[in-house]
Amino acid sequence: MLTVALMATACASGGDGTSATGATPTQRPEPSPTAQSTPLTVTPEELASADIVLMTGEAPQGFDNGGFGFEDEEISSPGPTIRVPAGETLTIVLRNVSDEFIPHDFTVVRKKDESAEPLWEAQTETIDPDEADIITFTPDAPGTYFYICSLSGHMSGHGMWGRFVAE
């Protein structure tokens, strides 16, 4: 079974987001019991077998700041750092928990740019609030990358990004 380590990102640093946070890696939290009660576009079995369940929606700063988190109440901008073993297949479920009617997606890219091509075909469908999507991919090259919401203005104007590290 794939072991995934996660780090919470305390705050954004330089413009390219490449400096270390100094946080201690921890094991992926189990999905909350409420995660299965929300209408999803993935099955409960797929949700339970995912390596990572990531939420997207408004960050506590309000409507102008979107973000990502492992729980509804933990959405932040930038989102938490995701650390995975390079070369191992990974399954991620993205749940849109937005209070507003704002669609989002999840895309792994080499640089923080909404027009960047997805790496390893790691991109969800665009999902509306109370929907979810599941993707499976293999990050085959070690390195520090980014995950973003690739919808126009979401990453650049609303801070919807996080670090994705394949080790």
108-135 pLDDT per residue, tens: 999 999 899 999 999 999 999 999 999 9
Which amino acid, residue 97?
Answer: V
* First-to-last C-alpha distance (Å) of the chain: 16
Digit-coded pLDDT (tens) for 131-164: 999 999 999 999 999 999 998 778 777 788 999 9
Confidence of residue 40 (pLDDT cuts 50, 70, 90): low
Domain-located, residue 17: no
Q: How far is CA 144 from the centre of its chain?
A: 14
Backbone dihedral region for residue 120 (phi beyond 0: left; psi -120 to 50: alpha; all else: beta): left
Element (H, E) at 148: strand 143-148
Q: How far is CA 146 from CA 32, 68, 69, 111, 123, in A?
A: 25, 12, 14, 6, 12
Strand-pair partners of 53: 93
Domain-located, residue 64: yes
Domain-located, residue 1: no
Domain-located, residue 115: yes
Domain-located, residue 139: yes
Q: What are phi and psi of 45, to 5 degrees?
A: -65, -45
User: For the chain, what is the domain count?
Assistant: 1
Domain-located, residue 23: no
The CATH number of the domain where 108 resides is what?
A: 2.60.40.420
Domain-located, residue 24: no
Domain-located, residue 9: no
65 lies in which domain range? 29-166
Q: For residue 56, give the nearest of 166, 144, 154, 141 by alpha carbon.
A: 154
For residues 59 and 161, the answer to whether their CB atoms sit within 8 Å is no
